Amino acid sequence: MARHNTVDDLVGRAREGEPRAVARLISMVEDASPRLREVAAALASHTGRAQVVGLTGSPGVGKSTTTSVLVSALRKQGKRVGVLAVDPSSPFSGGALLGDRVRMQDHATDSGVFIRSMATRGHLGGLSWATPQALRVLDAAGCDVVLVETVGVGQSEIEVVSLADTTLVLLAPGMGDGIQAAKAGILEVADIFVVNKADRDGASQTVRDLRYMLSLGERGAKGDSSWKAPIIKTVAARGEGIEDVTDALDEHRDWMNRSGERDRRRQLRAEAEIEAITLEQVRARIGDIRGQSTLPELAKRVVAGELDPYTAADDLVDTVSAS
């Protein structure tokens, strides 16, 4: 392998903002390349600078458009921006409206923007396990802000929150989104609410509904947070209200730093990440064992009613630990 392709060299070039080196590193992370660990080790000391912004909402609220205009706004401030799209309906990750796809082309030639779609392998709708590592690549590459866009139907919102410094929840008028958000437990985790398509009928009602539901939540809440999630109206397609969003992102970042919440979240995020990798390693060992006959044999005995699955799992844990 040529010297200029060593992991250290790739990381060096990524830190200088070379798009191909960034893309290459993310691919290595995504494909679980044998050099994944080497990449992770080389990135470790260069991360922690970027503000990670989770952006979630149901299909149709205008997530892609908002992401796109948000990228433009952040670029105007001279910020380097990364986008990780984990949303299967996002133009970044493939299944797209042509209009949005074309709109994103604006950023394709901008060297201050890295855009990457993440495969949602395994987890349908969930965040790819590679997302945290891809985040680290963009962070090390000097991104000031990394937007993680994910579709808002359940589990993925909760996962995006476990990754983000700032979570932005998008809603639109007349979609019953407030109720859906309440059901999914997303109200409690949003740092900023954006009611998009605010020029439509019902926008004010959506804001009122949201305020009411938030007030209900506050009564029963822990209540010691000094951050009160703002509700911002936007018309992303016309760029209206986007400055309010970037202002809110700045305010939240400053509050996170002041309050110690940033460190607390990052600690929890690292714990969750280590735990996930640990479980993945155990799963891989089980996979190795699958190649052998242990698991199929145990399963056979469970099917035959000779063994219960818990006793079988005990056997498997022993085998995994010994391997």
123 in contact with a second copy (CB under 8 A): yes
CB burial string 135-169: b at 16+ within 10 A, e below: bbbbbbbbbbbbbbbbbbbeebbebbbbbbbbbbb
Instruction: Tell the smallest beta-carbon distance from residue 316 to a second copy (Å).
Output: 5
Q: Name residues contacting a second copy, limited to 8-37 (CB under 8 A).
A: 36-37
313 in contact with a second copy (CB under 8 A): yes
* Minimum CB distance to a second copy smaller for 225 or for 311: 311
Tell which residue, 208, 261, 259, 203, has the closest CA to residue 236.
203
278 in contact with a second copy (CB under 8 A): yes
Q: Is 233 in contact with 207 (CB distance < 8 Å)?
A: yes
Interacting residue with a second copy among 23, 158, 182, 213 (CB under 8 A):
158
Tell which residue, 68, 71, 124, has the closest CA to residue 99.
68
Interacting residue with a second copy among 11, 41, 164, 177 (CB under 8 A):
41
Which range, of 4-12, 39-47, 62-70, 111-119, touches a second copy by CB under 8 A? 39-47
How many residues sit in the footprint of a second copy (CB under 8 A)?
Answer: 65
DSSP code of 79? Answer: -
57 in contact with a second copy (CB under 8 A): no
Instruction: Tell the smallest beta-carbon distance from residue 133 to a second copy (Å).
Output: 8
Q: Residue type at 49?
A: R
Residue 196 to residue 199: CA distance in whole angstroms: 8
Q: Is 74 in contact with 242 (CB distance < 8 Å)?
A: no
Which range, of 108-116, 228-236, 246-254, 274-282, touches a second copy by CB under 8 A? 274-282
Q: 3-class DSSP state for residue 55?
A: strand
Q: Kindly state the tokens that stand for 198.
A: 């605010």
* Residues at the contact surface with a second copy, assessed by CB under 8 A: 36-37, 40-41, 43-48, 88, 95, 123-126, 132-133, 153-155, 158, 183-185, 263, 266-268, 270-271, 273-275, 277-283, 286, 290, 295-296, 298-300, 302-314, 316-317, 320-321
